[in-house]
Amino acid sequence: MREPELLARWCKRGAAICWRQFTDELLSVLDAKQEETGDLKVAIAWYRATPLAEFQMATPDDLVNAGATAALVKAIRR
């Protein structure tokens, strides 16, 4: 993802979170998924577009934007 795209996602989250925290959360999700898959490109594609039944069909991107990063990382690492 390029910086303008990340900034747009951060803006969706709102002013309640600083840029650093947002990027840390996003990277923690990608890191957990990359550990699982062994491939960063696969992890990024999954993050952007995969609806998750466990989270009412929200994508990982939706969950990070909603502030549900901890639950998502926990689900990945199970």
| pLDDT confidence of residue 24 | 95
**Could you give the CA distance from residue 60 to residue 68 in angstroms, rounded to a whole number?**
9
**Could you give the CA distance from residue 51 to residue 14 in angstroms, rounded to a whole number?**
22
Token digits of residue 61: 């991107």
| pLDDT confidence of residue 11 | 85
**Could you give the CA distance from residue 34 to residue 7 in angstroms, rounded to a whole number?**
22
No. of helices (H) and no. of strands (E), the chain: 5, 0
Dmax (CA) for the chain in angstroms is 33
pLDDT, one tens digit for every residue, the chain (78 residues): 788 888 888 888 776 788 899 899 999 999 999 999 999 999 999 999 999 999 999 999 999 999 999 999 999 999
| pLDDT confidence of residue 63 | 96
| pLDDT confidence of residue 14 | 76
pTM listed for this prediction: 0.87
**Beta-bridge partners for 58:** 52
| pLDDT confidence of residue 2 | 84
